[in-house]
Every structure is written in structure tokens, then in C-alpha cells.
């Protein structure tokens, strides 16, 4: 199979890039010929070819030059299937429609949300309305996009063009039921939506019983922004009796880090914020910790770090938002609490830290559940989706 992949970025920047880092070598192993077109290329995995092509950024109008460049690449490579990952230029997606089969991977909320995170800026509430007129109304009432300005109308129009190109795809791949519902309400036909979870590489897995924790630490991993909720986790930990409070080890960078550090100091919570680290360093920290916390306020499309913790035989305590419920089963492989309920989050963490037997049982179940995310299984499902007629 000749697969043309269009992606926002090829490298090690975020979740989508990590997805491709795991996926592309597996496609090649399965005999596919893979060519990647990306707006930015940091590194090219072995066995594939790649070309940097400039198209519009997410807040800009579609690029005519980018669309023409994609059309030339399609003609030169002659793929059997085109696969788009986080391509935010509606003209580029439309150009990929010239291929016999077009598949769009929805990795996040940006294609159907001018804000990009489905969070109302003023209230912090999660939005579940489809792209369109409601966005214009909320630009006035909630400060969405650029507020009530012409720039907002242009941005909404560009997103609508992207949405229409995605709706015209042969298949749209989502990671969770939550994102499936958002795709359907934005006009993607139900029969074209295929739910396939992200893959975990084989080296992500610890052997069952191999990583008995050595500390009471709680690990947080993600970008340090309000949506990811590190500050909420700090306040939850502050509600635990001082002598029993665990240390929070946070991994990731972001503009909210200084404010969270100051709040942790004020509340007497031990916060070790190491910044961005390698995958190996994060795994070692999870192995040493008692559990992982995922206190996201926004509707996580999936919550990849959760299944990474599962693969290391660690339970997860999280707010039940977005796609988190697709892998976290309350009382089976972790604990889910109502979004934003910091006393409940702190109580759940404290209860697990004080109950070794229960924590170990949840961790064993988590490790067993991690097997369903093996890359080989996911690639089998993707090949079927890419070939489907």
C-alpha cells in the first residue's frame, strides 16, 4: 500500500507527533510505502521519505500555494490512500481528496472549535455545541476566538471550510466516543467515523510486577496550562493532612508553571517541576511513583498519558472529562471524580495512598488493560480503515 501522510509536524513536539513516531515505523514494517508531507520536520523515522511543504497555520486563511504544492506531490507519489493528521488548512485537505481514499485523523478539538480547546474563556466551561453560528454568539457572550470582531468571523469561516473538507473524507478516525460524538454533531456521517485508540510502542510496557513503586509521589505529565489542571491538583493535594501529603512530580513546560509553583509554595505542597523530559525519564518517574493524576479541566480527546501509566502498572486518578472514560473505569483501573471537584480528587488520592492492597489491585488491572493498546493491534485496525471501500 502506498500511503501519503500529511501532518502538521513530524518530530517530537506533542501528542500527534508522538503518535506518528510510533505509527510510521509500524506501517513500514507491514510493507507500506510511506511518504510524509509536513509543515515542519524535525526528524524523519527510518524507512520513510518526507518533504516539507508550507500551508496555512490554524488561524490563517487556506493557502493557495500550499494547495498547489500538495496537488503536485499527490501526482508525483500516486498514493492509494491519503491520511491527514492535524492538517488545519481546508484547501490542503480538499486537495488530498484527489486521492482514491482520504482518511482524516481527529487528534484534538481545533478542526471544530475556533478556540481550539472547546473551553469558554470567561467561564471555563466545556463547550459541546457544533461549529458555526453558536461560535459567533459565544465570541460575544464568552469571549471565544478574538471576541466580537471581524477576525473572529473570518476564523469561523476558515474552520467551516476545514470542517466541510473533513466531512467529505472517506473516513474520520477518532480516539474516543467523546470525539466521535463531536464529529457526528459537526456533520460527519456516523458510518464514516471509526474509533481507533492511539498506539503504545512495545517499549512502553513494563513486565507485570516489575515496577513496584518506591515512593508516595504523584506524577503529572502534560503542558502546564490552565486546561491541564496542575494548579487544581496542587489545591487537591493541599486538602490532605500535611503529614500525609505526597510530593507532586510534574513533567512538562508551559506559561502557567510560575503561577503553579507560587501556589504550591503558598499552600505547602511539595512540587517538583522538572520541565520537558525524555520519554525514558518520564517512565522512570512513573515507575517510582504511587500513581498518576490527570486533573484536566478541558475535555481531553483521549488522555494518552493515562494509558502510558497503565503500561507501567500504575493506576490513574482523574477528572472524568471528554474521552478519559474510554479507558479509565472507576474502581477497576483507577478512580474518576467529577470535573473540578478538588476535595474529591484529593480524597481519592489520599485513599489510594493509604490502601496498598487496593492500589495494587487497580494497578494490576490497569496493566492488563494496557494490552489492548499494543501498536501491532492498532496498526491492524488502521490498515483496515485505510483499505476500507
69-123, pLDDT tens digit by residue? 999 999 999 999 999 998 999 999 999 999 999 999 999 999 999 999 999 999 9
On whether both 152 and 236 belong to a single domain, the answer is no
d(CA 335, CA 103): 35
Please, are residues 55 and 67 in contact by the beta-carbon 8 Å criterion? yes
**Total structural domains in the chain?**
2
pLDDT confidence of residue 12: 72
Domain match, 135 and 248 both: no
Place 8 in a pLDDT band, splitting at 50, 70 and 90. Answer: very high
The 3-state secondary structure of 227-263, one letter per residue: HHCHHHHHHHHHCCCHHHCCCEEEECCCCCHHHHHHH
Label residues 29-49 b or e (16+ Cβ within 10 Å = b).
eeebbbbbbbbebeeebeebe
Which residue's entry shows cell 485523523? 105
Collapse the DSSP code of 381 into the 3-class scheme (helix H, G, I; strand E, B; otherwise coil) and give the result.
Answer: helix
Same domain as 180, residue 128: yes
Residues 84 and 130 in one domain: yes
Residue 22 and residue 101 share a domain: yes
Q: What is the pLDDT of residues 187-227, one digit of tens each?
A: 999 999 999 999 999 999 998 887 777 899 999 999 999 99
CA distance 76 to 68: 12
Decide if pLDDT at 302 tops 80: yes
- 175 and 122 share one domain: yes
Residues 241 and 227 grouped into a single domain: yes
Beta strands 193-195; 271-275: pairing state: unpaired
Q: How confident is the model at residue 13 (pLDDT cuts 50, 70, 90)?
A: low
Arithmetic mean of pLDDT, 233-252: 96
Whether 14 and 85 map to the same domain: the answer is yes
Could you tell me if 118 and 224 lie in one domain?
no
250 & 192 share domain: no
**Is beta strand 2-10 parallel, antiparallel or unpaired with respect to 81-85?**
parallel
In this structure, what CATH number is given to the domain that contains residue 353? 3.40.50.2000
- 88/59 same-domain check: yes
Beta pairing, strands 81-85 & 49-52: unpaired
Report the range of poorest mean pLDDT among 105-114, 157-166, 202-211, 369-378.
Answer: 202-211
Mean of the pLDDT values across residues 260-287?
95
| 367 shares a domain with 230 | yes
> Which residues span the domain enclosing 23?
2-199+374-387
Nearest to 366 by CA among 335, 320, 321: 335
Amino acid at each position: 500500500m502506498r500511503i501519503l501522510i500529511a501532518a502538521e509536524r513530524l518530530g517530537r513536539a506533542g501528542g500527534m507527533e508522538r503518535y506518528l513516531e510510533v505509527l510510521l515505523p509500524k506501517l513500514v514494517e507491514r510493507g507500506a510505502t510511506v511518504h510524509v508531507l509536513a509543515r515542519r520536520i524535525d526528524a524523519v523515522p527510518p524507512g520513510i521519505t518526507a518533504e516539507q511543504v508550507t500551508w496555512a497555520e490554524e488561524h490563517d486563511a487556506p493557502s493557495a500555494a500550499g494547495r498547489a504544492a500538495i496537488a503536485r506531490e499527490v501526482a508525483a507519489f500516486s498514493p492509494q490512500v491519503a491520511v491527514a493528521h492535524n492538517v488545519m488548512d481546508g484547501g490542503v485537505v480538499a486537495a488530498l481528496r484527489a486521492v482514491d481514499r482520504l482518511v482524516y485523523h481527529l487528534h484534538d478539538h481545533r478542526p471544530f472549535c475556533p478556540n481550539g480547546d472547546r473551553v469558554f474563556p470567561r467561564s471555563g466551561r466545556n463547550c459541546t455545541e457544533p461549529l458555526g453560528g453558536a461560535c459567533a454568539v459565544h465570541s460575544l457572550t464568552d469571549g471565544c476566538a478574538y471576541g466580537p470582531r471581524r477576525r473572529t468571523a473570518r476564523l469561523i469561516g476558515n474552520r467551516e471550510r476545514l470542517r466541510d473538507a473533513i466531512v467529505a473524507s472517506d473516513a474520520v478516525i477518532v480516539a474516543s466516543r467523546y470525539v466521535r460524538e463531536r464529529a457526528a454533531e459537526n456533520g460527519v456521517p456516523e458510518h464514516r467515523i471509526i474509533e481507533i485508540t492511539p498506539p503504545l510502542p512495545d517499549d512502553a510496557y513494563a513486565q507485570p510486577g516489575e515496577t513496584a513503586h518506591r515512593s508516595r509521589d504523584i506524577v503529572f505529565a502534560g503542558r502546564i496550562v490552565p486546561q491541564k489542571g496542575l494548579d487544581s491538583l496542587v489545591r487537591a493535594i493541599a486538602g490532605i493532612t500535611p503529614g500525609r501529603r505526597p510530593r507532586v512530580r510534574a513533567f512538562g513546560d508551559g506559561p502557567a508553571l510560575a503561577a503553579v509553583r507560587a501556589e504550591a509554595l503558598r499552600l505547602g505542597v511539595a512540587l517538583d517541576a522538572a520541565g520537558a523530559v525524555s520519554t525514558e525519564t518520564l517512565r522512570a518517574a512513573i515507575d517510582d511513583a504511587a500513581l498518576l493524576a490527570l486533573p484536566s479541566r478541558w475535555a481531553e480527546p483521549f488522555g494518552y498519558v493515562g494509558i502510558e501509566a497503565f503500561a507501567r502498572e500504575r493506576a490513574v486518578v482523574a477528572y472524568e472529562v471528554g474521552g478519559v472514560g474510554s479507558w479509565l473505569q472507576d474502581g477497576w483501573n483507577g478512580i474518576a471524580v467529577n470535573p473540578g471537584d478538588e476535595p474529591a480528587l484529593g480524597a481519592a488520592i489520599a485513599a489510594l495512598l493509604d490502601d496498598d492492597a487496593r492500589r495494587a489491585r487497580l494497578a494490576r488491572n490497569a496493566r492488563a488493560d494496557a494490552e489492548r493498546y499494543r501498536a501491532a493491534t492498532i496498526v491492524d485496525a488502521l490498515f483496515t480503515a485505510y483499505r476500507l471501500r
